[in-house]
Amino acid sequence: MKSDALRAVYQHELLSDEDLKAICEAHHEITFSKGQHILKTGTIADGYMILARGLIRSYVIDFNGKDITTDFFIQNGLVIEVSSLFQRIPSQENIEALTDCTCWKIDFQVFQELFHSIEGFREWGRSWMSSSLFEFKQRSVSMITDSATERYNKLMETKPEVFQYSPLKHIASYLGVTNTSLSRIRKETMK
């Protein structure tokens, strides 16, 4: 199971079977309980994970003290706080398990060793980072150019499990709407 799950994530033409085996062996299983914090503001990320089962979110506390969801992590996705991990700085975000979760974690130092010794892993990393940057840019523009209903529909298309397992207040904050607005959008969409 571990190998299959990780091989599904680490897809790149330059990764040989031997490379994939080394990468898979570098991950260890870790579990989190619903509500458990995986990373807290002010701490430095010590690795990243691939989510095998469950739902995880990242969030910040804004200048008014409100909890704002910044991302949802779904099965076979990377659970990562990029700035903290790669710049080795304290995180500005919190990462929390919304359900009981099982992950495959790779520690930062082991990742660094493999990243510098396996060309295909570097290329996979560059590809993942550019895709993530593109998605982040699309989301930023969408928050300005798309209606709340359009943002809701995009989230429903790309991460439907969020609607099964996340409290509505987290979805509302992620979409940049009030709880009342989210209720209205949900009613209109169900028609």
Total number of domains constituting the chain = 1
Global confidence as pTM: 0.92
Tell me which residue range forms the domain holding 16: 2-117
Q: Please indicate, yes or no, if residue 108 is contained in any of the structural domains.
A: yes
**What beta strand segments (E) does the chain contain?**
28-32, 37-39, 47-53, 56-61, 67-73, 78-79, 94-97, 101-107
Q: What is the CATH number of the domain that holds 16?
A: 2.60.120.10
**pLDDT value at residue 1:** 60
Q: Please indicate, yes or no, if residue 127 is contained in any of the structural domains.
A: no
Q: Please indicate, yes or no, if residue 172 is contained in any of the structural domains.
A: no
Q: Please indicate, yes or no, if residue 17 is contained in any of the structural domains.
A: yes
H helix runs in 1-107, sequence order: 2-9, 17-25, 82-87
Cα distance between residue 2 and residue 14, in whole Å: 21
**pLDDT, tens only, 154-188:** 999 999 999 999 999 999 999 999 999 999 999 88
Residuewise pLDDT in 10s, the chain (191 residues): 677 778 889 989 999 999 999 999 999 999 999 999 999 999 999 999 999 999 999 999 999 999 999 999 999 999 999 999 999 999 999 999 999 999 999 999 999 999 999 999 999 999 999 999 999 999 999 999 999 999 999 999 999 999 999 999 999 999 999 999 999 999 888 76
Among the listed residues 82, 102, 107, 79, the one whose alpha carbon sits nearest the alpha carbon of residue 92? 82
Q: Please indicate, yes or no, if residue 77 is contained in any of the structural domains.
A: yes
Q: Please indicate, yes or no, if residue 96 is contained in any of the structural domains.
A: yes
Q: Please indicate, yes or no, if residue 155 is contained in any of the structural domains.
A: no
Q: Measured on CA atoms in the order 45, 84, 174, 157, is the torsion positive or negative?
A: negative
Q: Please indicate, yes or no, if residue 33 is contained in any of the structural domains.
A: yes
